[in-house]
Structure 1
Amino acid sequence: MASKTPDRQAGKHTLKDREEVAERLLEASLRHSIDPDRELDWDSPFEDGKWFWPPELISLYGTPLWQNMSEERRHRLARVEGAALASIGIWFEIVVMQLLLRHIYDKPVTSKHVRYALTEIADECRHSMMFARFLTKSGTPVYPVSPVTQNLTRIFKSTSNTACSLVFTLLCEEVIDWMQRVTFPDERVQPLVRGVTRVHVIEEARHVRYAREELRRQMDAAGRLELRVTRAVTGELARVFVRSFVNPEVYPDCGVNRRAALRQIRESEHRREVLRKGARRLTDFLEEVGAFDRRGRRLWREAGLL
């Protein structure tokens, strides 16, 4: 039964009742959950001349390397970057599922809050299978995160506090979500890619709401030490995210020099603007709930997210 405790103020902001938030999200899940295996047309061939990712979102767009590429090579880069994002998406979904399970481990098992977390885990399972099926269909390599990131994340997902877990979740969800919202209405893009991004956007909106409401609650209840830890980790997560966002192996796979590509991406104001736009709603929210300190802001600026 949902708690009848009224909403209470957390500084300037109102903390919503946890059970009431979960109940609304469960109702939305009933109305808007999608089975990608049934809803998407997996059998139709890819269309000649269509992009696998909007060109403006490709990491090298607007750089000297991009200007000197043939149109065929640009399309190849779009295809493998799309594969890299699907690969990191699977990695991310698996990490989030483990973080959610840790979060609800000692929560009341009959609560709506726990029930929604399990519903989200079911969503993430479908998303991971959808991305894997897309990778198989696209005929591209799988681009995992680096071994260093893989092992650091193994430690993080086993030891992080709830607030840090939620910051990680929101960082990965909201930047990619912004890119997918640009992608799915874009008629230049392959219909299957648009379908995959549409499914993900619809369902991730609920996940973002759940994570934001819970992060507000965690930050409001955190003691001084937990706040310091959360702010320190928030800063470091920006570097890990941007470094992992596109696997550098995509460049030699397209006949592009990796060092030159990485240097030009670092120097690209267009790329930094894309990342800033993708992170803008999140950075505003993290400022609002107090997840940044001075060092964290500096690290996010250096990463191109602020």
Structure 2
Amino acid sequence: MTERAESDAGLRLREGIEGISDTVRRLTEQSRVRYQNPYEALTWPESVEPEEQWFFSPELTSLHATPYDPTHDERAARRFAFQEAANFFSLNIHGEKSLMAGLATRMYRSDLVEISDYLHHFLDEENKHSVYFGGFCRRYAKLYRSRHVPFAEGGARSVADFLFFSKALLFEEHADRYNVLQAKDSRLHELARFINHAHHADESRHLAFNRAIVQVLWQAHAPDWDEATLVDVRARIGQFFVTTWREYYNPDVYADVGFEDPWQVAEDAWSHPAQRAHRRAVSAKCLRFFLSHGILEQDPADVF
């Protein structure tokens, strides 16, 4: 990028951040007012009964409406839903660990200093969420490993910034949709409903910020990216859709509930029309955002 292009991009970025300053101030004030201490807000039950209580909405499980769906045995269905809850909380832990690291490296950077106050709250709230998710997995279940390979942040800083916040938006849009539905599900154990509600309460602010900053970064930097860079950025976002969703179909969960060939179960569930339709429904708002702003030009391959 030429020196003139860098100057123009820097000006567009400053103007863009100034344009969202009211939104950022409002979100910062809401975070201050609505702060919740995770060590005081929740009393953990001494034990839970995975086969007696629901901890994950059965319609949201990764095997729902597939031939593997254990609907014929309600105890088995609740046990599977419990493991799905542990996987959902685990993938949030892994995702938020990566998110917190990325936020920390961008805090007080000269070109982003105007949003640093909110980044403090953003990082603090993600840490708080990990207390809830980790508390559940450590006390009652297990922390499932992540097979996701983090993308390399080498190359232009403008590209790395854009991809970081785009991935955060995509990851949190999906998780938040699950949170909203499960916080309202009266069948679920009150602990599961509380964790989902508490997460959504903060995520609604994070999503508003992520949408704003992704749009600012795109408008600031995309005009100076060459065609090869644009193709690569769009491909990476498509990969984020695939890898984010793939972790919902966890062979380790299927092994834990007794399937003999968990990898085949994962592939069959991923390809099933009912699950493809489910992914499209959950991703609809996020996908619409990327398409409407010209960030993506078509649906990501092999997701829906």
Return the TM-score normalized by structure 2: 0.85
Helix, strand or coil for the counterpart of 1:143?
A: coil
Shift of 1:97: 1.1
Runs of 4+ aligned structure 1 residues displaced above 6 Å come to none
Cα distance in structure 2, aligned partners of 1:174 and 1:196: 16
The percent of aligned pairs where both chains have the same amino acid is 23
Q: Which residue of 2 aligns with 1:245?
A: 248
Helix, strand or coil for the counterpart of 1:131?
A: helix
Cα distance in structure 2, aligned partners of 1:247 and 1:264: 12
Cα distance in structure 2, aligned partners of 1:233 and 1:259: 25
Summarize the Cα distance change of 1:154–1:283 in structure 2 as closer, same or farther, 3 Å threshold: closer
Shift of 1:16: 6.7
Q: Which residue of 2 aligns with 1:274?
A: 278
Summarize the Cα distance change of 1:289–1:71 in structure 2 as closer, same or farther, 3 Å threshold: same
Q: Which residue of 1 aligns with 2:207?
A: 208
**Superposed CA offset, 1:48-94 (max 9, x none):** 73211000001111222225752222111111111111111111001
The correspondence of residues 56-205 of structure 1 with structure 2, limited to 5 A, is 56-67=59-70, 69-107=72-110, 111-138=113-140, 140-146=141-147, 149=148, 152-153=149-150, 155-156=152-153, 161-205=160-204
Shift of 1:269: 2.3
Q: Give the AA of the match of 2:192.
A: V
Whether contact under 8 Å (1:36, 1:126) holds in the other structure is: yes
Shift of 1:203: 0.2
Q: Which moved more, 1:190-199 or 1:282-291?
A: 282-291
Shift of 1:96: 0.8
Whether contact under 8 Å (2:93, 2:133) holds in the other structure is: yes
Shift of 1:205: 0.7
Q: Give the AA of the match of 2:134.
A: A
Cα distance in structure 1, aligned partners of 2:248 and 2:154: 18
Question: RMSD in angstroms over aligned alpha carbons?
Answer: 2.5
Summarize the Cα distance change of 1:267–1:241 in structure 2 as closer, same or farther, 3 Å threshold: same
**Superposed CA offset, 1:150-187 (max 9, x none):** xx316349976111111110111001100110001111
Helix, strand or coil for the counterpart of 1:98?
A: helix
Q: Which moved more, 1:70-79 or 1:277-286?
A: 70-79
The correspondence of residues 220-239 of structure 1 with structure 2, limited to 5 A, is 220-222=219-221, 223-225=224-226, 226-239=229-242
**Superposed CA offset, 1:10-50 (max 9, x none):** xxxx9872332221111111222222321223136436732
Q: Give the AA of the match of 1:155.
A: A
Helix, strand or coil for the counterpart of 1:167?
A: helix
Shift of 1:101: 2.3
Cα distance in structure 2, aligned partners of 1:229 and 1:214: 20
Summarize the Cα distance change of 1:259–1:91 in structure 2 as closer, same or farther, 3 Å threshold: closer
Q: Give the AA of the match of 1:42.
A: W
In structure 1, runs of 5+ residues without a counterpart are 1-8
**Superposed CA offset, 1:101-143 (max 9, x none):** 233352368x5510100111010111112111011222x2221
Q: Which moved more, 1:64-73 or 1:187-196?
A: 64-73
Q: Which moved more, 1:98-107 or 1:179-188?
A: 98-107
Q: Which moved more, 1:238-247 or 1:215-224?
A: 238-247
